[in-house]
Amino acid sequence: MTGVQTCALPIWEMNLLFKKSGSNFKWLNAIYFIVSVSCLVYFSSKILFAGDPSGEDTYSDSIEGLKYSINFTWTLIAAFLVFSMQSGFALLGGFLQSKNMLGYMAHCVVDGFVGALLFWMCGFAVMFGGSMAAPGLESGNWFMGYSGFFLAGDSYDVQTVMLWLFQMVFCTKAVTIIAGAVAERMKFAPYVIYSVFVCAVIYPVYGHWMWGGGWLSTLPYGAGCVDFAGSGVVHTVGGMLALAGAFFLGPRKNKFNPDGTANAIPGHNLTLVVVGTLLLAFGWFGFNAGSTLGATDLRISVVATNTFLGAAGGAALVIFVSWIAFGFVDLGMVCNGALGGLVAITGPCAYVPPWAAVTIGILAGAIMWGTVIFVESQLKIDDPLGAVAVHGANGIWGMLAIGIFADGTYGGVSGCITGSIGQLQAQTIGAAAAIGWAFICGAFVFGILKLTFGLRVSELIEYEGVDIHLHGSPCYPAQDELTSQLGNLEVEETVHRDMAILEESMAKDASRQKIYSDKLGRWIYAKPNK
């Protein structure tokens, strides 16, 4: 889990490790036991029943069977594209300090794999139970679903499994949004626990309201609240959770001055950011166009085109504004502008004409820029990757844009430009529900974690970086990193000066003891374990 090395331990050795590691791991051991027993009981009662796991009943030697095959293939390829976006998210860690890069990527890995397990266990059932979207998803109500757990029983079906895979990668992207807002200062164990809650409950419940036959989809306005590929379900929910996390964590050290003004904390590698943005943009074709769930829906050409035009509009706006404001193009902000455009067009991409996609993207770039300034200067919240601005604010804008620009040519969804105010009413309710649900749930989970496990790493860990302390290794060779930043002649003097200042302040803290760190190979001042 550290991202440094992998190992396989017998169960008895894992249990021994947990006992030696403190009370936090005792809780994890208990959870592990409960989940294991629950899985065993569930499978013993359901495994004898199944849908169509071989696909023999679904497929037929006919035009209809050929359509099934084409649509299955398209949806699976789209799922693969969306999964590749996890690498794009990981590379956005270039916005962070190099000493914390490994910690951020570890969060991305946890979201991608542990999150998938939770969505398999219960998240998918909560989200799509009662939707009748595939076999085994018959039971649910207006609030949540309750069929399809573990993909067992009737949900062990080729159609249901395909839908699970496609929706799972959406879920893991939503939870990864928060990683950027809490980067460089959050403990690893609380992050894992938070990820479990998001993938198992928070994200699936709102997803059920929108995509699983819940109350938002049945609103008596327009065509009900709609969200084609997730401006609200994925991005607004993820952005509001990011806001809650950053709020409860507090800003990074030295981010804000005593007078409230903010200091820039430069990232270490803009090249990674650019490559990550391009990977995300490529994967977004699967995100949006894949949401047709079928290549036989020829609207995919409009969806794919609108997706790219939204990104182009967001990037172009930021290029222009930064050039005018600073006299140069701020490439980091341009990348966030493109991502903001992609987020905003995600919901409306199937319902609007190309000119509207460009307009939505341009306004998304402006919204991203304004929200970054507002969150930092007015709310005094430290969001290292701009998750609240890119995903939260533009997720809301994407939801509202459906009610404004939808032209009625797809799915019967018509917005204000065609004279229908009802759709905007439905979209407003949906956006408000996403904001309220995600932020309240996020505040609850982060608040409980803060009171129990604690959220932040120690001052020493934050100063020296989470990589070496929480994951056992720096992300980059130390000498190369320091040489590139400061030059050979300044490295040793600067490090010694900074360490002297730190140790002087730590020595004045009566709650700390001077102990020798084998890991660091020197004396440090640290609080003793209770």
Residue 466 lies in a domain: no
Number of CB atoms found within 10 A of residue 109's CB: 16
DSSP structural state of residue 120: I
The count of domains in the chain is: 3
Locus of tokens 């949900």 = 155
So what's the pLDDT on residue 479?
A: 44
Q: Are residues 75 and 198 in the same domain?
A: yes
Contacts 24+ apart (CB under 8 A), 523-528: 524/460, 525/460, 526/458, 526/460, 527/458
Q: Which two tokens stand for residue 268?
A: 């270490």
Q: Are residues 94 and 131 in the same domain?
A: yes
Cα 446–Cα 451–Cα 454 angle in degrees, nearest 5: 75
So what's the pLDDT on residue 91?
A: 98
Determine the angle formed by the axes of helices 394-405 and 354-377, rounding to 10 degrees: 150
Q: CA of 523: how far to CAs of 99, 248, 506, 507, in Å? A: 20, 32, 12, 11
Listed residue (525, 464, 515) closest to 99, CA to CA: 464
Q: Are residues 151 and 245 in the same domain?
A: yes
Q: Are residues 497 and 392 in the same domain?
A: no
CA distance 94 to 10: 37
* DSSP per-residue codes, 18-63: HHHT-HHHHHHHHHHHHHHHHHHHHHHHHTT--S-TTSTTT--SSH
Q: Are residues 392 and 425 in the same domain?
A: yes
140, β-bridge pairs: 145
526, β-bridge pairs: 513
Residue 234 lies in a domain: yes
Domain finish residue from 452, 468, 495: 452
CA distance 283 to 277: 10
The backbone region for 25, taken as left when phi is positive above 0, alpha when psi lies in -120 to 50, beta otherwise, is alpha
Domain finish residue from 416, 437, 452: 452
Residue 511 lies in a domain: yes
Residue 145 lies in a domain: yes
Could you tell me which residues come within 8 angstroms of residue 34 by beta carbon, excluding any fewer than 6 positions away?
Answer: none
H or E element at residue 85: helix 63-91
Q: Which two tokens stand for residue 169?
A: 């990668």
Q: Are residues 361 and 299 in the same domain?
A: yes
Residue 201 lies in a domain: yes
The backbone region for 135, taken as left when phi is positive above 0, alpha when psi lies in -120 to 50, beta otherwise, is beta
So what's the pLDDT on residue 170?
A: 98
Pairing of strands 522-526, 513-517: antiparallel
So what's the pLDDT on residue 65?
A: 83
CA distance 181 to 202: 18
Number of CB atoms found within 10 A of residue 492's CB: 11
Q: Which two tokens stand for residue 387?
A: 């998750």
Residue 215 lies in a domain: yes
pLDDT, one tens digit for every residue, the chain (530 residues): 333 333 333 333 334 333 444 445 455 555 555 655 555 445 444 444 577 886 777 777 788 888 889 999 999 999 999 999 999 999 999 999 999 999 999 999 999 999 999 999 999 999 999 999 999 999 999 999 999 999 999 999 999 999 999 999 999 999 999 999 999 999 999 999 999 999 999 999 999 999 999 999 999 999 999 999 999 999 999 999 999 999 999 999 999 999 999 999 999 999 999 999 999 999 999 999 999 999 999 999 999 999 999 999 999 999 999 999 999 999 999 999 999 999 999 999 999 999 999 999 999 999 999 999 999 999 999 999 999 999 999 999 999 999 999 999 999 999 999 888 999 999 999 999 999 999 999 999 999 999 999 999 999 999 999 999 999 888 987 544 444 444 444 444 544 555 565 566 566 656 666 666 665 556 666 665 54
DSSP structural state of residue 517: E
Q: Are residues 199 and 231 in the same domain?
A: yes
Q: Are residues 200 and 290 in the same domain?
A: yes
416, β-bridge pairs: none
CA distance 382 to 254: 11
One-letter-per-residue 3-state SS of 358-419: HHHHHHHHHHHHHHHHHHHHCCCCCCCCCHHHHHHHHHHHHHHHHHHHCECCCCCCECHHHC
Q: Are residues 84 and 38 in the same domain?
A: no
Q: Are residues 263 and 375 in the same domain?
A: yes
Q: Are residues 41 and 67 in the same domain?
A: no
Listed residue (21, 198, 181, 185) closest to 103, CA to CA: 185
- Alpha carbons within 13 A on the beta-carbon side of 156: 11
Residue 299 lies in a domain: yes
Contact call for residues 168 and 120 (beta carbons, < 8 A): yes
Q: Are residues 207 and 264 in the same domain?
A: yes
Could you tell me which residues come within 8 angstroms of residue 372 by beta carbon, excluding any fewer than 6 positions away?
Answer: 333, 336, 383, 386, 389
So what's the pLDDT on residue 300?
A: 97
**Residues counted in the chain:** 530
**What amino acid is encoded at 416 in this protein?**
C
Residue 496 lies in a domain: yes
Cα 262–Cα 267–Cα 268 angle in degrees, nearest 5: 150
pTM for this model (two decimals)? 0.83
Q: Which domain holds residue 35?
A: 11-46
Q: Which two tokens stand for residue 322?
A: 């930064």
Buried b (16+ CB within 10 A) or exposed e, 228-245: bbbbbbbbbbbbbbbbbb
